Chain A
Amino acid sequence: MSNIINGVSRVSRRDFIRNTGLAGGGLILAANFSACSGEKELAGGDFAPNVYVNLLESGEVEIVCHRSEMGQGVRTSLVQVIADEMEADWDRVTLLQGIGDAKYGDQNTDGSTSIRMQFDLLRNAGAIARKMLVNAAADIWGVPAAECSGHHHAVHHKASGKMLGYGELAGHAATMPLPEQVEFKSPADYRYIGKPMDLVDGMAFSVGTAAFGIDTVVPDMLYASIERCPVVGGKLISVDDTAARAVAGVVDVIQLGDGTSPPDFNPLGGVAVLANNTWSAQKGREALQIQWDMGTNASYDSSSYRKQLEAAVNAAGSVVLERGDVAAALANSAKTLDATYYAPLLSQAPMEPPAATAMINDDGSCVIWACTQDPQTAQAVVAGALGLEPAQVTVNVTLLGGGFGRKSKPDFIAEAALLAKLSGKPVKVTWTREDDIRHGYFHSVSCQYLRGGIDADGNTTAWMQRTAFPSINATFEPTDGPSASELSLGCTDNPYAIDNMKIEACDAAAHVRIGWLRSVSNVYHAFAASSFADELAHLAGRDPKEYLLDLIGPDRHVVPAESGAEYENYGQDLGEHPIDTARLKAVLEEAASMSGWGRKLPGGRGLGIAVHRSFLGYVATAAQVSVSDAGKLQVEELWTAVDAGTVVNPDRVRAQMEGAGIFGMSLTLHGEITAKGGAIVEGNFDSYPVIRMSEAPRAINVRIMPSNAKPGGVGEPGVPPVAPAICNAIFAATGKRVRELPLRNVSLA
């Protein structure tokens, strides 16, 4: 396989050092050349063919991870790809974390993109290194490069039996021209790609040395805790900080002004207490006496807002997809059904709350250490807040104690930067759990109305869907409803083979900051569509899995534009990454067979199933639940089949599916953010519960479909099928149809 190089640029050693903050390694002189070194003299020195790879003359390879690690395993899988294509030995690789820098290309670790969008980039990075080492050896030996090959950390010339180690070749390889074309390895020769390599951070996690955003310590730094206005868009009227300043350990109290409108990625403003330890900062903050002007969002109440959303989907919206004649088909149906589904605001609640440290240098430049999913955006936002050029801001990326979308927004990083500037000291800002739950960028609340019709034979003839939710775009510009990109997440990509289909989007205003949460709008779209499909199956008196296979229909590539939809396909080409109904049906069949679909279950138990494509990955999940007479629900077991195309690390894919099962259960059973007077009511894991060990299923079984297709997403696609699978299982167990989340608000007795 050959590949034209793009997106991988060559760097000098100096650039490499700057981009990784790494120095040293270049001072050791080559000690001895091996006996088998050939016709030309070997030059000492290192070899950095591109921004991701640096081969030291010692033979050690430094690989830069430019993506953020938040539990998806990218620090492991990225090395797998580069080292494999380079033919570098695993135990001679040292992994470095890249700072935020446009040189690395896209670093926004969001949208399950690291492998699906950068597989070729990473393969190139390794393959270029290998190719240049081969060319260097061929040049030294005076033989054609085509007769040489790079493997196991050395270049070999088969005919003569000559071999030169990568380290020995480094200096000479650095003088080779960048190749115009490289060969990728054949998948049969992969040593790391497709293998369940152990976590590169496994030791650090198990002994407590892994460093997260909250763990940064800079000499002389202050610890900050910030009181923010309870309502988005509110303003500070006055503050009395006398008592706060009297708290032992408190050093300073600093006003941060007000948030912006729209809120964007900017800090929310407020009053910061700076102390010489975290606890004193928190105690001081509790002692602040603050008066706020709550602003116009103070009238926001989540229960009356729900009624507004329900009213919105009761009236026609703007048509975003249409084919056939839904009205006529409904009128001619043997049976029709309508249903309204509701799902509330959610908080990502990563285990590590937002935390960032900032330091201002004497020349005014700024250094950041933060658990950020998107260091380049952090760099830009901090530069804007401080009035600097982005190049004057260095963003060091720590490990993230979970992200789930929250840490793609750098508001908390800009807070630290502003406080460092205003206090004249390095500052670490640590959000409390309450800050995280109350002042987040929330997963949108949503309401959907569905109306379906079946003919006398039980075939589905009409599908009408209206969806209303405040848009993430409202965080950045005034806007009143769903965007095409959010509708592309599980709504306008509807894969059902129904002749008459119409989807409408209805307006909804935002009163809190709306943001991304793992799998985003797919959560509520899949909940409604996959629940409603199950409802129609029962209306038709059919087995839900068989009915779903029919609904998905013949093998084909679904093209939403043919039904007038503006469809974004996760930023990738629909030709290369089609909506492939064969793959959808294959994972559905697989999950069904794993679960023993159709078997008899003891009383109070039921099996439910759902299948959904998102982020170019196909996932079907079957759930077995039990519901006691008192209405107590237990999710007993999950079975998940995933087709994510080519898989780099099957163990991490498995782990993501296991985690998605639990994350999906949390939002199905417990997750709900509510607001009163514009302020978020919930504050910690008592009022915003997530799944605990005692509720975890006894097994989450995962099967990965073998595939050589281009890689799809993995981190997010496991979440959407979970809620409908569980709710469909509840119906199977009890005959009760759940049309709202979370289940803790619903009586199953």
Chain B
Amino acid sequence: MATGPASALEFSQNKILAGSWSKPVSRGGATGIRTPDYAGNSMTIELKLNQKSVSLDADPDMPLLWAIRDLAGMTGTKYGCGKALCGACTVHVDGQPVRSCSYPISSAAGKSVTTIEGLSADGSHPVQVAWRELNVPQCGYCQSGQIMSAVALLDKNPKPTDEDIDNAMSGNICRCGTYTRIRAAIHKAAGESS
């Protein structure tokens, strides 16, 4: 069946009959970059965001999280704590997982940033598939960060043990308590990618 929740990206545009709440919402995606009108200390930072070159005018200290969300208009990456405590904002910078809330945009200059939206063109990454097959999410809010951390773990360690998972995933809080399913989904994805 189809749903009409606001959907920013390619995947669901055919089916945005959309609950009223998505209608006036416009999201830029990586192409519709907004340029804030800064009085001073902003600089132009070039980076790759989900394989596309973008240049963002931002205070060099602005956390990558807010640059991705507010300037690049990609909202899949979430804010949960702003202090590198919860993992909701996890993205990959040159393949490494980082907490984008605590990573200045200037450090991303010239690098390649991947967000949940860039993990696959159609949600077909084995981790995304495993997440859906086990119906891991409850509210779903932490899950972008969980998936990005899980992908980074499996890139390094294709057959993680429970202990490996606990170590790699304990920076990602899920207030809804989906941990046992996350563990199972990582094992499932590991099985499928082997």
Interface residues of A (CB under 8 A from B): 20-22, 24-25, 62, 65, 69-73, 75, 79, 90-99, 196, 198-212, 214-219, 223, 246, 248-249, 276-280, 282, 349-353, 359, 367, 369, 394, 396-404, 430, 432-433, 651, 655-656, 658-663, 666, 684-686, 690-694, 696-700
Given known A210-B5, A698-B162, A700-B180, contact A217–B25 (CB-CB < 8 A):
yes
| Bound form: Cα–Cα A65–B3 in Å | 10
CB distance from B156 to the nearest CB of A (A): 17
Known: A200-B1, A278-B70, A351-B176. 4 other contacts (CB 8 A): A217-B73, A219-B24, A651-B135, A655-B138
Given known A218-B24, A663-B177, contact A211–B123 (CB-CB < 8 A):
no
Q: Is the CB of A207 within 8 A of B117?
A: yes
Q: Is the CB of A397 within 8 A of B19?
A: yes
Q: Is the CB of A209 within 8 A of B21?
A: no
Q: Is the CB of A684 within 8 A of B3?
A: no
Given known A204-B12, A207-B76, A217-B73, contact A95–B3 (CB-CB < 8 A):
yes
Contact-size category for B: 35 or more
Q: Is the CB of A248 within 8 A of B139?
A: no
Q: Is the CB of A217 within 8 A of B26?
A: yes
Q: Is the CB of B140 within 8 A of A209?
A: no
Q: Is the CB of B59 within 8 A of A21?
A: no
Q: Does B27 contact A (CB under 8 A)?
A: yes
Q: Is the CB of B3 within 8 A of A94?
A: yes
8 contacts between A and B (CB under 8 A): A21-B20, A25-B17, A95-B4, A206-B132, A353-B80, A402-B138, A402-B176, A404-B175
Q: Is the CB of B3 within 8 A of A75?
A: yes
Q: Is the CB of B70 within 8 A of A94?
A: no
Q: Does B6 contact A (CB under 8 A)?
A: yes
Q: Is the CB of B82 within 8 A of A350?
A: no
Given known A79-B1, A211-B21, contact A249–B83 (CB-CB < 8 A):
no
Q: Is the CB of A398 within 8 A of B176?
A: no
| Bound form: Cα–Cα A699–B135 in Å | 16
A-B interface, 6 closest residue pairs, ranked by CB to CB distance from nearest: A21-B20, A208-B76, A662-B177, A401-B141, A97-B19, A71-B139
- Beta-carbon contacts under 8 Å, B73-116 to A: 73-83, 85-86, 88, 115-116
Q: Is the CB of B80 within 8 A of A351?
A: yes
Q: Of A210, A276, A690, which is within 8 A of B173 by CB?
A: A690
CB distance from A142 to the nearest CB of B (A): 34
Q: Is the CB of A280 within 8 A of B116?
A: no
CB distance from A687 to the nearest CB of B (A): 10
Q: Does B49 contact A (CB under 8 A)?
A: no
The closest CB in chain A to the CB of B122 belongs to A207
Q: Is the CB of B69 within 8 A of A278?
A: yes
Given known A71-B139, A351-B174, contact A369–B40 (CB-CB < 8 A):
no
| Bound form: Cα–Cα A699–B15 in Å | 38
Q: Is the CB of B181 within 8 A of A93?
A: no
| Bound form: Cα–Cα A401–B77 in Å | 13
| Bound form: Cα–Cα A280–B139 in Å | 28
CB distance from B52 to the nearest CB of A (A): 16
Q: Is the CB of B20 within 8 A of A396?
A: yes
